[in-house]
């Protein structure tokens, strides 16, 4: 019945939503940030451990829809080993990907989010963890939300 929806709920996304990776706090983290969309209830906290400029470890906790959870899970896998600048560049690429379906440069496994742009109501779910990442890297204290702003 849901043949057409596989472009949104790709197998990799379903897998990461059911068995999220790095789904735990990092007690010794260097920085963290909360992503919270109060209107739909997606609420996650992202933790990063930095070694100088490099993200050594990443983890997250929280609850939300399949898309937001899978996005946070894939994010934590993706950013490990990246420098701050590389992580910010990846944020730009993912944002382009989920809003337009296209992106410049390699996004690796994150390419599974290429179908999200066809579901405008779900873009905010896919990008929430990435905004939390930027919030954590920039040391923003307030929770980030993707409900009211442009992504």
Partner 1 sequence: MTDWTKLRADFPILNQQVHGKPLVYFDNAATSQKPRFVIDALVHYYERDNANVHRGIHELSNRSTNAFEAARARTAKFLNARSADEIIWTRGTTEAINLVAATWGAKHLKAGDVILLTEVEHHSNLVPWQMLAQKTGAKIAYIPVTGDEGTLDLSKLDSLLTSQVKLLSMVHISNSMGTINPVAELCAKARKLGIVTLVDGAQSAGHLPVDLQAIGCDFFAFSGHKICGPTGIGALYGRTEILETMPPYQGGGEMILTVGYDKTEFKPAPHRFEAGTPDISGPIGLHAAMDYLDAVGREKIWQHDQELANYACEKLSALKNIRIFGPKQNRAGLVSFLLKDVHAHDVVTLADQGGVALRGGHHCTQPLMHKLGVESTARASFYFYNTKAEVDVFVDVIKEIQKFFAQ
* Binding residues vs partner 1 (CB under 8 A): 1-2, 4-5, 8-9, 14, 18, 38-41, 43, 63-67, 119, 121-122, 125
Q: Nearer to partner 1 by C-beta: 72 or 79?
A: 72
- 114-123 burial: b if 16+ Cβ within 10 Å, else e: bbbbeeeebb
What DSSP assignment string belongs to 58-82?
EEEEEE--HHHHHHHHHHHHHHTT-
HSE toward the beta carbon, residue 7, CA cutoff 13 A: 9
Q: Find the shortest distance in angstroms from Cβ 63 to partner 1.
A: 7
Q: 53 in helix, strand or coil?
A: coil
Q: Find the shortest distance in angstroms from Cβ 86 to partner 1.
A: 31
Q: Nearer to partner 1 by C-beta: 50 or 66?
A: 66
Q: Nearer to partner 1 by C-beta: 63 or 100?
A: 63
Residue of 60, 27, 26, 67 lying closest to 46 (CA atoms): 60
Q: Nearer to partner 1 by C-beta: 58 or 70?
A: 70
Q: Find the shortest distance in angstroms from Cβ 145 to partner 1.
A: 14
């Amino acid at each position: 019945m849901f043949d057409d929806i596989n472009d949104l709920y790709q197998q990799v996304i379903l897998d990461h939503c059911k068995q999220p990776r790095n789904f735990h706090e990092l007690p010794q983290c260097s920085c963290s940030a909360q992503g919270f969309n109060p209107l739909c209830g997606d609420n996650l906290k992202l933790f990063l451990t930095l070694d100088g400029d490099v993200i050594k470890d990443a983890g997250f906790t929280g609850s939300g829809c399949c898309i937001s959870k899978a996005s946070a899970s894939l994010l934590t896998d993706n950013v490990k080993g990246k420098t701050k600048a590389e992580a910010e560049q990846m944020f730009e690429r993912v944002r382009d990907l989920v809003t337009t379906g296209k992106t410049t440069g390699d996004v690796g496994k994150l390419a599974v989010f290429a179908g999200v742009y066809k579901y405008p109501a779900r873009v905010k779910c896919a990008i929430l963890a990435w905004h939390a990442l930027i919030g954590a890297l920039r040391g923003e204290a307030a929770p980030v939300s993707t409900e009211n702003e442009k992504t």
